[in-house]
Structure formats: C-alpha cells, structure tokens
Amino acid sequence: MYTRLKKLFKIKGYRIFVICVFLVGVGISITMPYLALYFTEDLEMSSGAFGVFTAVSSLTGVVANSFIGKYSDRKLDRKLIIMIATVSSALGYTSYLVFDHFLALLIIVSFFSGLGAAAMPQIYAYAQQSANESNSDDKTFAMSTLRSLVSLGFLIGPLVGTIILGVVGYEGLFLGTSAIFLIIASLTFLFLPKKRAVQKKRAERGTTSLERRQLWFPLTAFILLFSVNAINGIVTPLFIVNELHGKHTDVGLVVSICAGLEIPIMFVLGALGRRISNHSLMVYACVIAFIYSVILSIATASWQLIAAQILQAAFVAIVMGNGLSYFTELFPNSPGMSTAIYYNGSIIGRLVGSLGGGMVAQFVGLRDVYWVCMAIAVISFFILRSKKPNKAIQIITDN
C-alpha cells in the first residue's frame, strides 16, 4: 500500500492536487451548515426564500459547469479555468457581506457560485489528465484518494466554522472561506503549469444513439442514488428525534460515525480498483442502499441506525468516490466533460432528493420515506445491470 501511495506522487502536480482538493472541502463545509441560519436569522428571510436561493444557485452551477466542462476539453487552459473558478467562489462568499437584499444576493451569488462550481471538477480533470500523461496504471486509486480528501475536509470544516463563527461572527466566516479559495487560486498560479487538452485526431463520425444511451442510463442511476443520499441526510435526523424519540446526541453520532467511516472505506475501495470494476461497485451500492433502507424502515431504536452506518458509509464512499472514476472511464479522453457530468449529476440528485424527500415526509410520513428509497435503489439496480457500458465513449469536439 505504501508503494502504491508513493507512486501516486509521481503524477505531475499530485501534491498540489491533494492540498487544493482538501482546501476546497474545508472551504465549502465551513460555511454550508450556517447559510440557512444566516438567511433566516440575520437577513430575516423565510426558509422558503432560502430554498429558492439554494435551488437557483445550484442550477446555475449545473449550467455553468456543463458549458465549462465541454469547452475545457478543447484548447482551453485548465490552470486558468481553476484560477477563475476559485476567485469567483471567493467573490461569491464575499458578496454575502456586501449585499443584504434577496434579489441582489440571488443574482450576484448565483453568478459567482455558478462559475465557482467548476473549481472542483476542473481540479479533478487536471489530475486525470496528468495521470494519463504520466501513464499511471492506478488512476482509480489516485482519483479515489483525492475524493477521500474532500470527505476529510468536510469532517474538519464544520468544526473550524463553529470556532470562527463563535469568535468573529459571520463576517469572519465568509471572509475566511473567501481566503481559502484565494489560497487555492494562488497555489494553482504558482505551482501548476498550463494544461491544455490534448487534441485527438477527429473521428469520422459523431457519437451514435447507443453511445449516448451509455451515458444517459448510468447518469440517471447516479442521480437517483445521489437523491437517496440527500433524502437520508434530511429525513434521518428528523426520524431519529420524532419517530424513534432519540436525542440530538444520537443524530450527531449517526452523522459523525458515517463521515468518519467514509474516508477509510473510500480509500480501500480505491485500492481495490484493479480487482473490482467501478460499474460492479455502483451495482453493489444499489444493494447496500436497499438493505440500509430496509433496516431504517423497521428500526425501533436509535442504536440500530448507529450500527447501520457502516452500510451508509459504504454506500456514500462508492457513489461519491468510485462514481467519479466510473465517469472518467466512460470518457477517458474528455476529463473535463466526465467530471462535469459527475458533479452535475450529484447537484441534480441532491436537489431532487431534498425536494422529493421533504414532500414525501410531510404528506406520507417519515418512516414511509425509506420505502421510497428502497424503490429508487431497485430502479437504479436494474438500470445499471441492464445497461452495462461495454466501451468508453469518445466525445467528438471541434477545434
């Protein structure tokens, strides 16, 4: 294992990727838990207005990420794209301190956060391209290792955010987050060389309908699995407190144990990339999600959910970690497009899960939400089992 880790750092720029990916995870998670409180308490906006703000800014990120991902695989410089995206993220967080009107925040933050959404996908795309150029035979392990650092950042970020918020308030929180993204931009400027996409010889034909289906079927399954994860994130704390009559400390234990287990599981699954295909792992994720939902649907005490977090952690590790490698294998010559598809799928999945899970919980009941999760897991299973990709998809782009 040590030898394999050591080989990863032979990929050009990998040390910088490690630092930048970790900092992105920390930067996002420092502020994320407190945005809803900032909108509803300091700006005195309704929770509905915050929901609209979140949905619009997320969809703006999908649109911008799709456009940037497509053109980044042509002759654009990924280094410049990463710098622009991280500076845009910094400006987006700073905007919270400048504007306090809902419409102004909606337009300005959505614009900057939309551009900033390309930061993480383009860092991954740069890393994937560097791994290809370095002839690395352990690309899945390299990408899973980077993805595990995001989870590590999400473990540390909320604690750091709590400390900053308690000492200097929201002003320090937003400025601190902006500073992190400016540090990433500076590291990119100082230590990463320009990286333009390598232009392949233009194929004689475009992509066929079969090749397009090879994208849409797994993408649909991936969106569904991410929606299950979002539903769990929203409903499970309410389920523990309101249905199982657990304590808030039980909620904290569930979240912490799951997050703590994700990192080593993600790391191990990445190391097994040579033995188990990413497609097989995605199919296993459907089975794990189904079993986990069954357990929650019949649970009678909080300790049962706490014990089941090994399943949830394995599910999250596969979908978040190996899901990225899954799409980079589908698009080996288009790293910008593959990472954009991965992130767009995760954003759409979170939106669908958040909205759908909340509605089902309100009108049907918290426990019945897990029956919906079971159904989604089964649908995803059959999609992936019936539409296994048999070759990589070659994206044709104009010069």
pLDDT-derived band at 366 (thresholds 50, 70, 90) equals: confident
Residue 211 banded pLDDT, cuts 50, 70, 90: low
DSSP helix/strand/coil, 74: coil
Give the number of other CB atoms < 10 A from CB of residue 236.
22
Q: How much is the pTM?
A: 0.83
- How large is the average pLDDT for residues 268-291? 90
**SS3 call for 387:** coil
pLDDT mean across residues, the chain: 86
- Do 2-191 and 209-386 have matching folds? yes
Q: Is the pLDDT of residue 352 over 50?
A: yes
End-to-end CA distance of the chain: 41
According to the model, what pLDDT value does residue 196 have? 66
**What average pLDDT does the segment 226-232 reach?**
91
pLDDT surpassing 90 at residue 5: no
What pLDDT was estimated at residue 206?
A: 44
Give the model's pLDDT for residue 207. 46
Q: How far apart are CA 154 and CA 88, in angstroms?
A: 21
Task: Please determine, for residue 106, whether its predicted confidence score (pLDDT) is greater than 90.
Answer: yes
- Greatest mean pLDDT range, 1-5, 39-43, 286-290: 286-290
Cα–Cα dist 310/312, whole Å: 6
Residue 3 burial by Cβ neighbours in a 10 Å radius (0-12, 13-18, 19+):
exposed
Instruction: Please compute Rg for the chain using Cα positions.
Output: 21
> Nearest 5 degrees, angle CA 342-CA 122-CA 51?
55
**Region 44-66 average pLDDT:** 85
Q: Tens digits of per-residue pLDDT, 324-342?
A: 888 888 887 788 888 888 8
- pLDDT-wise least confident of 77-81, 299-303, 383-387: 383-387
Question: What percentage of the chain carries pLDDT values higher than 70?
Answer: 91
Quick one: pLDDT band at residue 290, thresholds 50, 70, 90? very high
Give the model's pLDDT for residue 117. 92
Provide the β-strand partners of residue 31.
Answer: none
In this structure, whether the domain defined by 209-386 belongs to CATH 1.10.260.40 is answered with no
Any residues with CB less than 8 A from the CB of 62 and at least 6 apart, and which?
117, 344, 347, 348
Helices (H), 73-204: 78-98, 102-116, 119-133, 139-191
pLDDT bracket for residue 33 (50, 70, 90) = confident
Q: Show the tokens assigned to 138.
A: 């352990």
pLDDT of residue 216: 85
Which of 135-144, 153-162, 190-199, 285-294 reaches the highest mean pLDDT? 285-294
Q: How confident is the model at residue 214 (pLDDT cuts 50, 70, 90)?
A: low
**Class of the CATH domain delimited by 2-191:** mainly alpha
All structural domains of the chain with their residue ranges: 2-191, 209-386
Q: Tell me the torsion sign for CA atoms 109, 106, 53, 215.
A: negative
